[in-house]
């Protein structure tokens, strides 16, 4: 969730040195101390963590051996005026053609600030821009009709759509006398325009169920998940929020906002009752905490551990940080990796970071502004293609120092995998590495190197990486 006093971090674009081409001129055997191999003991991630639908539609997204990629389809303070759903809808075909398999949308329902709100102060979960309340009919993003058209178009492109769900707190209620506080509280949601999920003071802490749950946020009324009435309206009833979003609005999954504010059992129950892909925003760099939450919520979680390690690696000149523990190494099926999002944007050297998440295990996310405005879209599309077609099997870290990082995806089910070489230094670097392939010609699928080396019979080969950049190697086929 975007804290109301945050500003989106300024992006410092890194200008990469022009790629050079060099001829391979050394085929001697590597010294035994040149390459240090470390295998990460993680489960293989070889498919999307959600259903792709049936059939293969020419020109639409079709899941490849490496899985899919998620697009965060917004940023903080997207333009006002109710046109954002149309903006996203118009980009879906290009995203699908580029290999993006799902889009995450901002909170879609009417919030306290009406047409000006980013949706994280929800008032009426069933008003998608079709009721006149909180000063407007449309939300900041548009009308219900436009949202439904976006979702329909995404499904036609064989893409999934994830809803951002804010169930920790509400905003925009009317004042009422509250016997549990002895004061008036803004907890009267009895007159919401949709008529669905009316709420009063006993549906928020403190109340007859206790004084608080895991955490309130920003002074907003803190929704009481211990109350069976609240549980029913959120996920239990046939017309609950979750089931309405899934069955009527046709959302395919959920991004749960601020899950520190309530127990993981809430998401677990939602998932059991409603279904669909889910990921939680647990803003914590401790991988033990991330794993604990994901297991107890039966949900994916954003890999904040990887996020902060990437900042240390790519911005602070210490690629050894990538040896450290991360959620994708613990359980790639429950790790959603990212380089930036609407809340936090601290990694400046972004292209190597995207090369990292798009060649490694986990479910990688592309940030809208990085893709559409700030970075090189052609290079990102190249990385997405590599992810979808070559990034298979578990991961072995082959070499790290402050400036260099080399890892191998070991391949799966006939797919050859890859070797990624990230170079933070200001000059070309070369290394002998052990590959998956014996006596095979390989190439750099980024085009950054023009070498076409052949692996030795023992699967070793020398590869290179350009300065302040990366190369990604696989069979020349």
The terminus-to-terminus CA distance of the chain in angstroms comes to: 44
Is there a contact between 461 and 474 (Cβ–Cβ < 8 Å)? no
Tokens at 73, concatenated: 């389809």
DSSP H helices in 50-140: 84-97
Q: Determine which one of 138, 157, 257, 361 is catalytic.
A: 257
Q: Which residues pair with 336 in a beta bridge?
A: 302, 363
Find the helix or strand (DSSP H, E) in which 311 lies: helix 304-315
Other Cβ atoms within 10 Å of 196 Cβ, number: 16
Query: Residue holding tokens 């050297």?
Result: 349
Secondary structure (3-state) at 456? coil
Q: Which residues pair with 382 in a beta bridge?
A: none
Other Cβ atoms within 10 Å of 308 Cβ, number: 18
Secondary structure (3-state) at 404? strand
**Number of residues that make up the chain:** 477
Q: Determine which one of 281, 315, 370, 403 is catalytic.
A: 281
Sign of CA dihedral 436, 439, 445, 450: positive
Find the helix or strand (DSSP H, E) in which 433 lies: strand 429-434
CA–CA gap between residue 64 and residue 62 (Å, rounded) = 6
Half-sphere exposure of 467 (CA within 13 A, CB side): 9
Secondary structure (3-state) at 398? strand
Sign of CA dihedral 91, 93, 97, 102: positive
Tokens at 385, concatenated: 């293609």
Annotated binding site: 168
CA torsion, ordered 274, 275, 281, 287, to nearest 10 deg: 130
| Active site (annotated) includes residue 325 | no
3-state helix, strand, coil in the chain (%, to 5): 25, 25, 50
Closest CA to 204 of 192, 188, 190: 188
Annotated binding site for Ca(2+): 168
CA–CA gap between residue 292 and residue 254 (Å, rounded) = 19
| Active site (annotated) includes residue 257 | yes
**Residue 458 CA to its chain's centroid (Å):** 38
Query: Catalytic positions, please?
Result: 257, 281
């Amino acid at each position: 969730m975007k804290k109301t006093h945050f500003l989106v971090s300024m992006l410092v674009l890194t200008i990469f040195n022009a790629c050079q081409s060099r001829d391979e001129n050394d085929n001697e055997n590597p010294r035994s101390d040149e390459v240090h191999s470390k295998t990460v003991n993680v489960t293989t991630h070889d498919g999307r963590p959600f259903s792709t639908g049936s059939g293969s539609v020419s020109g639409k997204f079709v899941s490849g051996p490496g899985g899919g990629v998620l697009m965060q389809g917004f940023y903080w303070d997207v333009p006002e005026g109710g046109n954002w759903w149309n903006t996203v809808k118009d980009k879906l075909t290009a995203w699908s053609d580029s290999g993006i398999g799902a889009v995450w949308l901002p909170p879609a329902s009417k919030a306290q600030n009406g047409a000006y709100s980013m949706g994280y102060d929800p008032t009426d979960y069933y008003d998608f821009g079709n009721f006149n309340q909180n000063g407007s009919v449309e939300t900041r993003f548009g009308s219900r009709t436009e949202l439904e058209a976006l979702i329909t178009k995404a499904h036609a492109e064989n893409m999934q759509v994830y809803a951002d769900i804010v169930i920790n707190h509400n905003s925009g209620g009317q004042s009422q006398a509250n016997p549990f506080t002895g004061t008036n509280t803004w907890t009267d949601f009895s007159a919401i325009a949709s008529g669905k999920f009316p709420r009063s003071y006993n549906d928020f802490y403190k109340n007859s169920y206790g004084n608080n749950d895991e955490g309130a946020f920003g002074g907003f009324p803190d929704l009481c998940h211990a109350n069976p009435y609240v549980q029913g309206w959120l996920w239990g009833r046939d017309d609950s929020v979750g089931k309405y979003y899934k069955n009527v609005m046709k959302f395919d999954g959920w991004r749960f906002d601020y899950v520190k504010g309530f127990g993981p059992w809430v998401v677990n129950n939602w998932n059991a009752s409603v279904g669909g892909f889910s990921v939680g925003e647990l803003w914590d760099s401790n991988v033990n905490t991330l794993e604990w939450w994901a297991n107890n919520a039966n949900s994916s979680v954003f890999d904040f551990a990887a996020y902060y390690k990437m900042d240390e690696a790519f911005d602070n000149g210490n690629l050894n940080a990538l040896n450290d523990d991360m959620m994708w190494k613990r359980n790639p099926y429950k790790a959603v990796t990212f380089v930036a999002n609407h809340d936090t944007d601290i990694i400046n050297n972004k292209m190597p970071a995207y090369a990292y998440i798009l060649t490694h295990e986990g479910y990688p996310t592309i940030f809208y502004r990085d893709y559409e405005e700030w970075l090189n879209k052609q290079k990102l599309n190249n990385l997405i293609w590599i992810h979808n077609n070559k990034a298979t099997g578990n991961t072995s870290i082959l070499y790290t120092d402050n400036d260099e990082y080399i890892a191998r995806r070991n391949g799966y089910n006939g797919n050859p995998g890859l070797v990624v070489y990230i170079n933070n230094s200001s000059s070309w670097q070369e290394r002998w590495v052990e590959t998956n392939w014996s006596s095979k010609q390989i190439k750099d699928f980024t085009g950054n190197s023009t070498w076409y080396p052949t692996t030795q019979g023992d699967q070793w080969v020398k590869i290179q990486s350009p300065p302040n950049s990366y190369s990604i190697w696989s069979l020349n086929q």
